[in-house]
């Protein structure tokens, strides 16, 4: 399981539970990727309803992209990890994609 994990899981968790859990995990992690330390701007009224993101531009390839904060299962969902605050951490999508379903 790779980059689509968060989307798949969000279908199985009530939207308000997902929102509150995302906000709690990001607050605990100071809105920083726990691997690389990347941190997007955080609006003062942010409530976890959407993923924090920024548009990126790769000048070498001439392509636009998106970098965002995601929830990552420390013990992977694909291996039985729960959608609980203690098993979740904040990762950017770059680090989360490279982590995959590894612990």
Interacting residue with Zn ion among 5, 25, 71, 95 (CB under 5 A) = 95
Chosen residue from 25, 33, 52, 71 binding Zn ion by CB under 5 A: 33
Would you count residue 5 as binding Zn ion (CB under 5 A)? no
Give yes or no for a contact between 16 and 47, defined as CB atoms under 8 angstroms apart: no
State the nearest-atom distance from the C-beta of 84 to Zn ion, in Å.
22
Task: Lay out the site mask for Zn ion across 41-80 (x = CB under 5 A, - = otherwise).
Answer: ----------------------------------------
Count of CB atoms situated within 10 Å of the CB of 91: 26
Per-residue three-class SS string for 61-81? CCEEEEEEEEEEECCCHHHCC
Among 5, 52, 69, 92, binds Zn ion (CB under 5 A): 92
């Amino acid at each position: 399981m790779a980059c689509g994990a968060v989307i798949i899981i969000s279908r199985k968790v009530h939207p308000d539970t997902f929102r509150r859990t995302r906000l709690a995990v990001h607050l605990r992690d100071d809105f920083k990727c726990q691997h690389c330390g990347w941190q997007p701007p955080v609006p003062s009224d942010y409530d976890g309803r959407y993923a924090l993101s920024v548009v990126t531009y790769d000048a070498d390839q001439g392509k636009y992209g998106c970098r965002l904060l995601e929830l990552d299962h420390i013990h992977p969902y694909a291996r039985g990890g729960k959608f609980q605050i203690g098993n979740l951490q904040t990762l950017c999508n770059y680090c989360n994609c490279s982590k995959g379903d590894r612990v």
